[in-house]
């Protein structure tokens, strides 16, 4: 593996932590060209001091920020402002890691696509809301997406060397989150701390709540529809509490190819850092004898309504996926701020989808306009109905 240049968009989050850990292991093979952060200046400064990238971008600086001095000390050019991350995403490197959470990550991902970059994509909202624009642009600009969500990376690997027209179904797996064994009647009483306690993964707050509602799996189906050119009839998900089988592809001849691995984000990130070749990640090898058995079950509609709300918009116009994602972000933020109950998250999303949200979303401006409209609808519902 020749030494590669890497830019990490969203370097202070969980994905950034794992990618930086890999780059420490492969310091002779990868160098950090650029990093971005939203506002975690202390952690950002530590990353800059250790890796000394050529460029760093941040949305805004706090009063009396030390970042400019730290960047100057290490020869790092600091970009500041709303478009700073997009400028960084366009700078030519071997790999751009798209790890900014939520719709906030879409502009920089789209900028990387327009610049023809290879993108290790962890930001599922980019394809959920703009997959209808992004996927056609890949061929036009020469850009490439290597998905690094564990499930999408699993399917990506399962499909390597296979004939796409021979695929019958694509199945993603879900852990079931922290409430898998909680009685559905008790969910309205679950606290923020309860919902954040994921049994298998260490993730940021938003993604953890999405896992608890299983909206994350619905969003992942929407993302998979774009990544793998799949319809709702080809896509499904099942609960697999051990989180060892990450994805399965069922072919027309009856063969099923699955991807199994210890739950570790460094594995898909390593696959991306190797540009679709396998490198050492430090992931613990599977010991099937100690595992003993694997469990699979259906997704309960009453317990996980968010999953079904997402699944029902797969074949709808793109505006529905945009509204779904926007409403969910507003609802999750409200839950994390103790403004609504856990079970209200699905109510907010369902209410938004029941409104007239059909719109022409053929450019980025229209996408963000509809996103803003859906957010306003959702906040109004929270303020007046809940």
Asked if 96 and 120 count as a contact pair (C-beta separation under 8 A), the reply is yes
pLDDT of residue 1: 60
Query: Structure tokens of 88?
Result: 């960084």
Same domain, 160 and 143: no
Domain match, 254 and 221 both? yes
205 and 308 in a single domain? The answer is: yes
Residues 95 and 179 in one domain: no
Cα-Cα-Cα-Cα dihedral of 134, 140, 141, 144, to 10°? 60
Do 381 and 303 share a structural domain?
no
- Look up the CATH number of the domain holding residue 57: 3.40.50.720
Same domain assignment for residues 307 and 212: yes
Q: Select from 287, 313, 339 the last residue of a domain.
A: 313
Whether 386 and 342 map to the same domain: the answer is yes
Q: Do both 189 and 102 map to the same domain?
A: no
234 in the same domain as 183: yes
Q: Please, which residues have CB within 8 angstroms of residue 80's CB and are 6 or more apart in sequence? A: 57, 58, 59, 60, 61
| CA-based R_g, the chain, Å | 20
CATH number of the CATH domain containing 325: 1.10.1740.10
Give the β-pairing of 77-80 and 167-174: unpaired
197 lies in which domain range? Answer: 154-313
Q: Look at the chain and report how many structural domains it folds into.
A: 3
Q: How many Å apart are CA 307 and CA 299, to the nearest integer?
A: 8
Tokens 């907010």 map to which residue?
348
d(CA 223, CA 210): 15
Same domain membership, residue 138 and residue 8:
yes
Cβ contact 176:239 at 8 Å: yes
Rounded-to-integer distance, Cα 215 and Cα 270, Å: 26
Q: pLDDT truncated to tens, each residue of the chain (386 aa)? A: 678 999 999 999 999 999 999 999 999 989 999 999 998 999 999 999 999 999 999 999 999 999 999 999 999 999 999 899 999 999 999 999 999 988 999 999 999 999 999 999 999 989 999 999 999 999 999 999 999 999 999 999 999 999 999 999 999 999 999 999 999 999 999 999 999 998 776 778 998 999 999 999 999 999 999 999 999 999 999 999 999 999 999 999 999 999 999 999 999 999 999 999 999 999 999 999 999 999 999 999 999 999 999 999 999 999 999 999 999 999 999 999 999 999 999 999 999 999 988 899 999 999 999 999 999 999 999 999 99
User: Could you tell me if 261 and 283 are in contact, meaning their C-beta atoms sit under 8 angstroms apart?
Assistant: yes
């Amino acid at each position: 593996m020749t030494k590669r240049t890497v830019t990490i968009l969203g370097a202070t989050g969980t994905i950034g932590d794992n990618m930086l850990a890999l780059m420490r292991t492969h310091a002779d093979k990868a160098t950090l060209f650029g990093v971005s952060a939203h506002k975690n200046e202390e952690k950002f400064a530590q990353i800059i001091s250790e890796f000394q990238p050529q460029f760093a971008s941040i949305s805004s600086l706090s009063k009396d920020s030390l970042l400019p001095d730290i960047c100057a000390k290490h020869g790092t050019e600091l970009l500041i402002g709303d478009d700073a991350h997009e400028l960084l995403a366009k700078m030519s490197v071997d790999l751009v890691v798209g790890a900014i959470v939520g719709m906030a990550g879409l502009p920089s991902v789209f900028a990387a696509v327009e610049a023809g970059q290879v993108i290790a994509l962890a930001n599922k909202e980019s394809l959920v809301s703009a997959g209808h624009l992004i996927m056609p642009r890949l061929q036009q600009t020469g850009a490439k997406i290597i998905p690094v969500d564990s499930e999408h990376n699993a399917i990506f690997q399962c499909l390597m060397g296979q004939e796409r027209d021979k695929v019958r179904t694509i199945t993603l797996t879900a852990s079931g989150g922290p409430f898998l064994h909680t009685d559905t009647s008790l969910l309205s009483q679950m606290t923020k701390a309860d919902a954040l306690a994921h049994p298998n993964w260490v993730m940021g707050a938003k993604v953890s709540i999405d896992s608890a509602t299983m909206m994350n799996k619905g969003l992942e189906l929407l993302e998979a529809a774009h990544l793998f050119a799949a319809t709702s009839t080809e896509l499904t998900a099942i609960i697999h509490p051990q989180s060892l089988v990450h994805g399965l592809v069922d072919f027309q001849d009856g063969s099923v190819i699955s991807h199994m691995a210890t739950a570790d984000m460094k594995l898909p990130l390593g696959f991306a850092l190797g540009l679709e070749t396998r490198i050492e990640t430090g992931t613990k090898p599977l010991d099937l004898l100690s595992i003993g058995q694997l469990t699979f079950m259906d997704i309960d509609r009453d317990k996980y309504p968010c999953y079904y709300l997402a699944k029902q918009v797969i074949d709808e116009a793109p505006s529905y996926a945009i509204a779904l994602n926007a409403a969910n972000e507003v609802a999750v933020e409200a839950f994390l701020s103790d403004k609504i109950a856990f079970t209200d998250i699905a109510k907010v999303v369902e209410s938004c989808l029941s409104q007239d949200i059909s719109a022409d979303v053929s450019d980025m401006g229209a996408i963000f306009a509809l996103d803003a409209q859906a957010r306003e609808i959702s906040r109004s519902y929270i303020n007046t109905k809940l």
